[in-house]
Amino acid sequence: MAADETKGADGNANIIRWAKGKIEYRVLSTGERNGEEDWYLTVHPDGSRTMRAVNRLDNVDFHRSVILRVEENFRPLEVMATYWIRGAWAGSGLFTIDGNTLDAVVNTPNGRLTQTLRVPEDLSVIPHPLSTNSWQTWHYDKAKGGDQPGTVYDMDALADRSGALLGRLSAQNLRFIGSETLTTPAGTFLTDHFRIGDGVDLFVTGPDALMVKFVWTAADREYVLIALESSR
């Protein structure tokens, strides 16, 4: 075997492909920008994926860094997160999923918190960078169609320095609307359009289910992919 046949993307045997991009946060009704997110995805030889994301909000002095690792089928394996608010560290956490058990260890300015939960097979984790939200449809069976249930572990989006980062389990309903072609500043994409609950529309593309657009009508929010680079 030639030496370069063992290499992955960019000569790194640990990465078979990568992608990176930027998401702009907008007010849906006005189009006004109110934040942004940078993300970097790597896909590994065993099929697992790692997403690293950093997001910032314009109207809140807030900074969040997240690493989410998932199995080949996108079921979550672990999350690492750190939050800063108004110039102060608000908390950091490690969340691991082993079969039907989720364990969380969170450090906050007020001390260490732990959590252990029993979780179902259809689990998704929402650490709140929008680049990771696209993976919550991983268990949806498009051949079956219709409304299908799912379970999400929703991490604290505010991290208010009290119970920072610890999340809760909740049920959600998913529906596949259809395939749609969308054009954004990042390009033109053939997307799968999903509806989450009654008021969220999610558009994802490609084998890595990259988020192209996320519309939350009730909250007057829109999130749009505005830049994309990849190894192929």
Residue type, 24: E
The whole domain housing 146 covers: 15-230
In the numeric block, the tokens 């969340």 are attached to 95
- Helical H runs in the chain? 130-133
With respect to residue 213, please indicate whether it lies within any of the assigned structural domains: yes
User: Tell me: the pLDDT tens digits for 41-91?
Assistant: 999 999 999 999 999 888 888 889 999 999 999 999 999 999 888 888 988
Q: Does the residue 10 lie in any domain?
A: no
**What residue type is 49 in one-letter code?**
R
Note whether residue 5 is domain-resident: no
Total structural domains within the chain: 1
Q: Whole-prediction pTM value? A: 0.91
Instruction: Please give the DSSP secondary-structure letter assigned to residue 139.
Output: T
Backbone angles phi, psi at 147, to 5 degrees: -80, 130
The strand pair at 123-126 and 147-154 is best described as parallel
What pLDDT shows up at residue 145?
Answer: 96
Q: For residue 3, is it within any domain?
A: no
d(CA 78, CA 94): 7
